[in-house]
Amino acid sequence: MSESRVALITGSSSGIGAAIARDLAAQGIRVVVNSARSEEAGKALAAELPDAVYVRGDVAEPQDARRIVREAVDAHGRLDILVNNAGTTRFIPLDDLDTPDAAVWREILDVNVIGAWQITTAAVPHLRRSGAGAVVNISSVSATRALGSSVPYAVSKAALDHMTRLLASQLGPEIRVNAVAPGLIETPWYDEAGQVWESSREWITANTPLRRVGTPEDVAHAVRHLVDAAYTTGDVLTVDGGRHIV
């Protein structure tokens, strides 16, 4: 059995999650690809990466969350890194107070907050055994600023940031818990946003110090840093091209 580390990346069949899987695999880390629905894309990505496996499952479902972790450990014998990337949203203007009904709130919170909690708590015993476990949550700049794809989404990411800090305070020294908060990132999510995306893209490009929107690879590089940042825990690393300073 190889002693190389093992990383489980939830929601990793495309976009940011796939970029994280590729980046970690390039560092010699064995990855477990996961998605709730996109099985074909997930299997194709796993086939592309050395020693990778694919596990289908919905982190919002308690039994699935436990099974995903169990199958990851069964496949590789250990778990060292968990990246909570699985997420969902609805594109709803922030001033629309009618569309985000209770069902919308539950849908988003179930994946973005409860799902991250369920998969993390299932992974904790294995991460502890690693002796240098690392959890990285994928948050958003909308957690701390009055913006985002919808109010429920922004609130879910604010909750995820605080969960990051709470877990970091309790799981050390064996496990570090950090988060990455991306700004506007060019992913398949924005295909459904249409003109809203194009307007946001133009505005960010003109008003951000680095003069561009982000890419999934930008987020992946930040995740890799936190995976190996041995004296960093409870941190939320902003990846937004410097927009937060202007």
The domain locations on the chain are 6-187+216-239
Residues marked active site are found at: 153
Residue 190 has pLDDT above 70, yes or no: no
* Count helices and strands in the chain by DSSP H and E runs: 8, 7
Q: Is 83 exposed, middle or buried (0-12, 13-18, 19+ CB in 10 A)?
A: buried
DSSP state, residue 7: E
Rounded Cα–Cα distance for residues 224 and 20 (Å)? 8
pLDDT in tens, 195-245: 556 777 788 889 899 999 999 999 999 999 999 999 999 999 999 999 999
DSSP state, residue 115: I
Contact between 162 and 236 under an 8 Å Cβ cutoff? The reply is no
Rg of the chain over all Cα atoms, to the nearest angstrom: 17
Average pLDDT, stretch 105-124?
Answer: 98
| % of the chain at pLDDT higher than 90 | 86
Query: What pLDDT, on the 0 to 100 scale, is given for residue 72?
Result: 98
pLDDT in tens, 125-172: 999 999 999 999 999 999 999 988 899 999 999 999 999 999 999 999
Calculate the average pLDDT of the chain. Answer: 94
**In the numeric block, which tokens belong to residue 34?**
């996961």
Contact between 126 and 79 under an 8 Å Cβ cutoff? The reply is yes
**In the numeric block, which tokens belong to residue 147?**
């913006």
**In the numeric block, which tokens belong to residue 122?**
């299932």
Beta bridge mates, 175: 133
Rounded Cα–Cα distance for residues 235 and 92 (Å)? 29
Rounded Cα–Cα distance for residues 6 and 216 (Å)? 21
Query: What pLDDT, on the 0 to 100 scale, is given for residue 200?
Result: 76
Contact between 129 and 199 under an 8 Å Cβ cutoff? The reply is no
Residue holding tokens 């300073």? 245
| CATH code that applies to domain 6-187+216-239 | 3.40.50.720
pLDDT band at residue 2 using 50, 70 and 90 as cut-offs = very low
pLDDT band at residue 59 using 50, 70 and 90 as cut-offs = very high
Residue 100 has pLDDT above 80, yes or no: yes
Q: How far is CA 213 from CA 118, 202, 206, 217, in A?
A: 32, 9, 10, 12
**SS3 for 28?**
coil
**In the numeric block, which tokens belong to residue 191?**
């295909």
pLDDT band at residue 124 using 50, 70 and 90 as cut-offs = very high
Average pLDDT, stretch 176-200?
Answer: 78
Element (H, E) at 107: helix 102-109
pTM of the predicted model as reported, rounded to 2 decimal places? 0.94
Query: What pLDDT, on the 0 to 100 scale, is given for residue 202?
Result: 85
Rounded Cα–Cα distance for residues 61 and 191 (Å)? 27
Helix spans in 110-194 (H):
116-130, 151-171
Contact between 12 and 85 under an 8 Å Cβ cutoff? The reply is yes
